[in-house]
Structures are given as structure tokens and as C-alpha cells.
Chains A and B, each alone.
Chain A
Amino acid sequence: MQSAEKQPVADIALSERVTLPAEALARTKALDRFRLGDAVFRHLTRAAALGVLLLLSGVIVSLIDGSIPAFRAFGLGFLTSERWNPVTEIFGALPAIYGTIVTSIIAMVIAVPVGLMIAFFLTELCPQWARRPIGIAVELLAGIPSIIYGIWGLFMFAPFLQRTLQPFLIDTFGDMPVLGVLFAGPPYGIGILTSGLVLAIMVLPFVTSISRDVFEAVPGVLKEAAYGVGCTRWEVVRFVVLPYARVGVIGGIMLSLGRALGETMAVTFVIGNAHRISASILAPGTTISASIANEFTEAVGDLYTSSLIALGLILFVITFIVLAIARYMLMRIERRIG
């Protein structure tokens, strides 16, 4: 019955000449095959798209599932407790959360102004021929795997800081009343400050390339008008480009912040893995991702493992919020550009 229903399709195509029923049937069959293939392909691609959603929900569900024992044992106190003792099986996330946030703040404080200035250079000052090579060099910096930053940070950067920057900071600020607390203690080389600096180098290319892209999206007419009334290049960037690109720049900063918060290997090498909160940024500390990377395979006991997974869940929630805000802002500027 089905083929009789579809007969007219074949008939229209063949109406000008007489055909054997066998040929008409073959055509119908071919059409059926196409129709089936079409439906299969369409559903396949749809399933893959749904799979991406499933992936994210899978991540969330498995993390929640894995962290239930930890939250059952410690309740919400897990988030505010400073103790992390694998021997007595008492765990608290606060030092790791603190380290994650402080290293990211240090990274952003350095990377954002520098990145914006590089973007200013690339869009307004740089001669045309040098733009592409410098842009590519910045993006290559972004492509270097984080473990390379880690090994470099451990063997080159940390000893360098231990000899130069850290003694300088201690000598300069160590005796001051308020700032002194921040720079107390011996220069270990590794620690919160070093991690923050390595992170800064890592996220610098992200800040730069996104800022450059949004700067370039500013309509030329606006800039020309500003130049026309006699603005200097800096004034054009400061009073025309930056305000226009504000949403995109903030989106880019949030995106880079998301990277910095979740970065694992570069930090694990140089943070020192100490579960405590020190006022001094020269002291060793830990971050969420560094704790997981250092301790997960050695974790014995369900509660220890579960506590580390709970740390992962916290990290995921924090980065998810930051990244969602970033994407929302970047989407807004994309829509405005059209």
C-alpha cells in the first residue's frame, strides 16, 4: 500500500513518456531510500546535538552524586571549614577555595591591563604588516599546553622569583604596617604569588585576543569622527573604543577568569599544595584543581575521594557561573555587531 501512495511522485516525473512498471517501482524504491536516509541523518545529527547537552548534565549529575558522602558528613560546613586532614578524615574546602580565588585575582590584576594595552597596540598603533605576525605569536602563547607553563614555572620562574622579586617585596613592604602582612615570611619561590603570576602569563593571550577582536568590531566611523575632532590615539581608545566595546571586554575578562579559576597543571607545579590560609601571598597554598590533581589518585577511603569530588563540584559551579556570564555578555555584543 505504501508504494501505491507514493506512486504519484514517480508518475509526475515520468508523465511525458510511457514507462515499464518495473522502472517506476525502482524509482519509488530509490525515493524511499532517500527519504529514509534523510530521516536517519537528521535524527543522527539531532541526537549528537542532544548528546552535547547530555554531556553537561552528565558532568553535573556525576559530580553531585560523587560528592554526596562528603556533604552528608560535613554538611555546608564543608564550604567554610579550614581543616583538611586525611588522617583523621576531616575535610574543609575553604583553603582551596581561597587559593583558587586569590591566585585568579592576582592573575587578572596583571593580565587585564597588559592585555588591553596589547590590544590597543595591535588595533591602533601597530603597522599593518606586523599585525598578523604579532597576533599569531600571541595566539601561539595561548596554544602552549598548561603543563609547559608548569614545568617552566617550577624550574625557571620560581627560582628566579625567589632570588629577585620576592626578596625585593619582603625588603620593601615587609616592615610596613598593613602591607607587611601580605609579604611576610621567607621567599619560598613557589606559592600563591608565583601561581598567580604564572596564571597571568597563561591568560594574557586570551584577554588580548578577545579584546583585540572586540576593539576591531568598533565601527570605523566612530573612530574617524573622534580623530576628526582632534582626539589623540589614546583618547580615541579611552573615550570611544573602550566604552563602545565595554560589554565585550568584560565578557572576555570573565572568560579568561573562567580559565584561570579552572587551570590545573600550571598551578599544581608552583603552588606548594598546603591546605592552609596564610595572609602572606608569598606562602604556599593550594587551589581546588591543584588539590584534586595532587591527591586524587592517592586518596584512600570513600570520604577522602568524595571530598575531592565535592571540591570539583564547587569549582565547576563557580566556573559555570563565570563562564555563563561571559558568554551572555559576548553574545550581546555579537548581536549588536550583527
Chain B
Amino acid sequence: MPDKTVTARYAARRGKDIAATALALAATAFGLGWLVLILGALLWEGFGGLSVAVFTQMTPPPGSSGGLLNPIFGSLVLTIIAVLIGTPIGIFAGTYMAEYGRYDRLSSVVRFINDILLSAPSIVVGLFIYEIMVAPMGHFSGWAGGVALAVLVIPVVVRTTEDMLTLVPNALREAATSIGLPRSLSITRICYRAARAGMVTGVLLAVARISGETAPLLFTSLNNQFWSTDLNQPVSSLPVVIFQFALSPYKDWQSLAWTGALIITLTVLALSITARALVPSAKQT
């Protein structure tokens, strides 16, 4: 009976479809489950340790209580250095690629290289900075850590700046030129303004990316048990302290590591959510 085989084949196809749908649902639950598990573990282990002392006291020696003031301060300083160095270079490079050389060869080469830098292993960046800064200077330093992070900021900012400037309608540029504005002013006064929200997003994403970066800091800014504002000295930073404390056998250190991890994660999540909230307004312009 041909009718029967058709029905059977149809049932088989429906069966496959249902199986695939179930698998897709399971995969999604599996994927999101990790987010819940990891955030849950962080809150569970880290929240109990959150207190005023964490933000006001130095990292303790093993066996006594203390806080994370010096690594938090160090991380802030390193991030600021990285943003101050990385953002202008990134914005200028992105500007060249979107405004002056949108179709030239240099831009396409830079775009390709930049995309590779964007996902290059960050530990290699640490080695690079060690070779060009730490080894010649003869000591680990906060500057080296800041520069290492700046190297990670640049590709993110280049990418978003270029993307956002490309979205700026040409009519704006033509209008600026028609009233006699020189090219540089039409870029800085008109295009930057139109693309501002998107460019800020890029910087926020870059900060989110570097605030958890550990690998490039391990042998550039190293770590410092004490309060130090001298950038020629090793500087403490949250990720490195987490790394050191988590692998230590001391319970106090481990619980401080969890608290630090919670602080970093909340910071990163806040930054990426803010960045995302800015993006729709960037697309409207």
C-alpha cells in the first residue's frame, strides 16, 4: 500500500523534527544552565565575604583577615592607563579606516590584522610587553601592566569606531563639506558626534574585556602585597590576586578570591549591560 509508506515516512520526518526540537531546547537549557550555575556559585561563595573591610583594608598575610583595597585600586589605575593610551590610538586608527581610507588597501590589511589581534591570546601580549618593557627596564612595573592592557583595548576600540563611523550617513559629511568645513572638522565635529554613543560603547566593552584579564598582568605588573602608588613598582590587581589567593591553601585567602571574583563579574556585567543599553541609540543616529 503506497498510502501506508507515505504515512510512515511522514511520521518518521515528524519524529526527527520533534527529536531535533527537543535537542535544541535541551541545548539551550544546557547553555543557559552554566550561566546560572556560575553566577549562583559566585553569589553563594562571594557574597558572604562582601563587607566594608573588603574595600577599606589591604590584602592580608595568610591566616588573618583583610580586604582587597590595594588590588581594587591597582586594577582601577591599570585600567585608566590602558584606556588613556589605547582609546586615542584606537579611535584614530578606526577614523582612518572609516573616513580617509575606507576602500584603500591599507585599511583592509589593518582590518584583517586588527581582527586577529582582537582574538589573539592575551598571554602572548604579556610576553610581548615583558620583552619590550620589563626586560629592558629590569623590573616589573605598573606602567608595563597598563601598556599590556592598552594593547588589548586598541583592537576593540578600532573595531567599534570603524563600525560606528561607517554607519554615519554620507549626507552629513556632504552637508559639512558644502558649508566649507575642512575634512578634519567635519569628522571631529559632525561624524564623531553622530557616532558618539557607539564609540562610548566600544570603550565600555574594552574596559569590560580588560577588567578581568589576568594573563597579560602576570609578568608585567606582577603583584604587590602592600599599598603602592608608584607605577614604577609592581602593582597589585584584582585578577592576579584572585589567581594567587585561589590557588593558595589558606581558607581566608580563598574566600577573598571568591569575593574578588564576584566584584569583577558584577563590574563586567554592569559594563556590558550599559554598553548594550547604549547601542540602540547609536543605531538611531
Contacts and interface: CB of A to CB of B under 8 A. Distances in A.
Interface of A: 34-35, 37-38, 40-42, 44-53, 55-56, 58-59, 62-63, 65-66, 113-115, 117-118, 120-122, 125-126, 134, 136-141, 143-152, 154-156, 201, 204-205, 208, 232-235, 237-238, 255, 258-259, 261-265, 268-269, 289, 292-293, 296-297, 308-309, 312, 315-316, 319-320, 323-324, 327, 331
A140 B218 contact: no
Smallest CB-CB A-B distances: 6 pairs: A145-B212, A262-B121, A48-B92, A117-B27, A41-B184, A45-B96
B41 A156 contact: yes
B168 interface: no
Contacts of B114: 52
15 contacts: A37-B184, A40-B184, A41-B183, A48-B92, A62-B128, A126-B28, A155-B254, A155-B258, A156-B37, A204-B31, A233-B20, A234-B19, A235-B16, A269-B247, A327-B115
Interface string B227-247: 000000000000100110011
A109 to B, nearest CB: 14
Given A151-B246, A258-B119, A316 B96 contact: no
A35 B214 contact: no
B276 interface: yes
Residue among B16, B20, B243, B264 with the highest chain A CB neighbour number at 10 A = B20
A108 to B, nearest CB: 15
In this complex, the interface size class of chain B, counting residues with CB under 8 Å from chain A, is 35 or more
B89 A323 contact: no
A37 B181 CA distance: 12
B21 A208 contact: no
Residue among A148, A154, A204, A232 with the highest chain B CB neighbour number at 10 A = A148
B163 interface: no
Interface in B124-181: 124-128, 130-132, 151, 154-155, 158
A297 B212 contact: no
A237 B16 CA distance: 12
Contacts of B122: 262, 264
B272 A140 contact: yes
A268 B122 CA distance: 14
B278 interface: no
Contact of A46 (B16, B100, B132, B242): B100
